Each structure stands twice: as structure tokens, then as C-alpha cells.
Structure 1
């Protein structure tokens, strides 16, 4: 069953509620809110995986806790000159960070299309957004298999 967790659903609703012409600006607002990497990762960029489908450089790392429910921590790195890529990473960080692994794995793969940005962004950029979510799910599955 595919569901969207409440934090992410609120963000999706926020995008849908603004007029289509203003959604790209909302994405740019999110880009300014992307959390910085913690020092332990900023000093070791080799620990992050590049999402090559993104037009701009984007790197991510997923950490699945062994605590009950397997809460997930998400980390993203993208330059300020890549506001669209940073914006979507920030949407995922705000909507999924701290959620349980099973909850994130249940997010529909087409969730990026739910933001209503398909007419504002190129198909290539939309594919990058979808790839970010796919990488997150893959890293979660890999870590769950190891534990």
C-alpha cells in the first residue's frame, strides 16, 4: 500500500494550494531551507551517493536506525546555484526525515508528480526528483537487509 506520511502530505498540499504559476517560487523557497550537512559528513563527501539523474550535482546519504521502527535520517548536499535540485531535496528532507523506514518505503514512486510541477519543470528535472526518492528507498532497503 502506498501512502504519503503526514509531514510530506502537508508539503504536497501546500504546493497544490498555491496557483500553478507560483509553485516554482515555492520550490525555490524550499531550496533556501535545505539543512547543511553535519560536520562529520561535510568533511567526508565520499560517504554520500551522487544522484546522477539530477541535472545539477546532488549527493545524499540515508541512515537507518536500528531503534524500533527503524527511523531514517536523510542528508543532502547540493550547491546553492542549483535551486531546483536543492528545493526538491529540501522537500524530501522536510517531509521524510525522521520517519520510519516502512513509512518511507510506502511513499509512491510518482510522489514528485503530486507537487504539480510537471508543467513548470522539464521532464529531465522531474526524473531527477524521482531518482532522489528511488535512491533513498534503495539505501533504506540495503541497510535493512544488513541489519
Structure 2
């Protein structure tokens, strides 16, 4: 297993999955993740206006970050992620699914501490344009910003 300092176990496992396949198969793996993006709960389904759009993504992507469990949000608050992207945008959905599966349910501190280079650690630079990779970086940045704003975790 690859050493992934500050990378939570679920996300580290996904990074290792990508590291374990040849470059030619990395895009295919990302598209498998696209099919696994969790459906939105009823309160968000069809209500993207109540979510935040990540405009850096080439396709319409909306996300919501919620905290659960504690009266006073802080570093140990559990973070729930809700992300949607259209089926006709499989790359964007794949990135969203990687982040959803790798970050949902972690604490605020764990998410804020995730390294910024996670998109490059997936090894997709040969398969995707830099613009698409920036979209994933923007998603991660937006999630981390939301967590910081809601919890005060630096």
C-alpha cells in the first residue's frame, strides 16, 4: 500500500486503486466510479439551487456540505457530502464519486487536512486535460472551504 500521509483510509484506498491499474485503464476506472455516485437525498433532488455550483467544472456540478452529530460545529464534526453531476458528464461524475466515497463521513479536521494534490495522485494526467483535473481540484477546494466556514477549523 502506498504511503498516504494525511490521506484518510477510504481516500487512500481509492488512490491505491488508481495506482494499481495501468495508465490505459485509469480512465475506465474513473468511469466506473461515475456509475457509483450516490443519488441525492430527497431534500436536494431537483433542488440544485439550494446547493453550491462548482463553476470551474466543465459540466454542471452542484454540492452541499452538511455537518452532523454535534451541537457546536468543530474539528470532530462529521461531514456529509452531497454531490450531483449529469449522467452525460461521466468524468465529472467520476471525480465527484471519488471525493464522495473518499470523504463522506469523515471529521471536519480530516477533510481540511486532505492534501491538495489528490487529483494528481490518481494518475489521470495522461488521460485527461488539465482543465478537467482543475475541476476536481476545485471540487476538493470547495468542499474544504465549506467545512472551514461551517466549523472554524483552520
Shorter-chain TM range is over 0.9
1:71 equivalent in alignment to 2:78: yes
Give me the CA root mean square deviation.
1.2
Is there any run of 5+ residues in structure 2 with no aligned partner, and where?
none
State the alpha-carbon separation in 2 of the partners of residues 14 and 4 from structure 1.
14
TM-score normalised by length of structure 1: 0.94
How many residue pairs are counted as aligned between the two chains?
144
**Does residue 52 of structure 1 match 2:55?**
yes
1:42 CA displacement: 1.0
Provide the C-alpha distance between the structure 2 equivalents of 1:66 and 1:94, rounded to a whole number of angstroms.
19
- What secondary structure is seen at the aligned counterpart in 2 of 1:42? coil
Q: Distance in 2 between matches of 1:76 and 1:47?
A: 12
2:98 pairs with one of 91, 94, 103: 91
Output the TM-score relative to the length of structure 2.
0.90
> Which position in structure 1 is the counterpart of 2:143?
136
Query: Which of 36, 39, 42 is residue 39 of structure 2 equivalent to?
Result: 36
Give the whole-Å Cα distance in 2 for the aligned partners of 1:40 and 1:57. 19
* Other-structure match for 1:112: 119
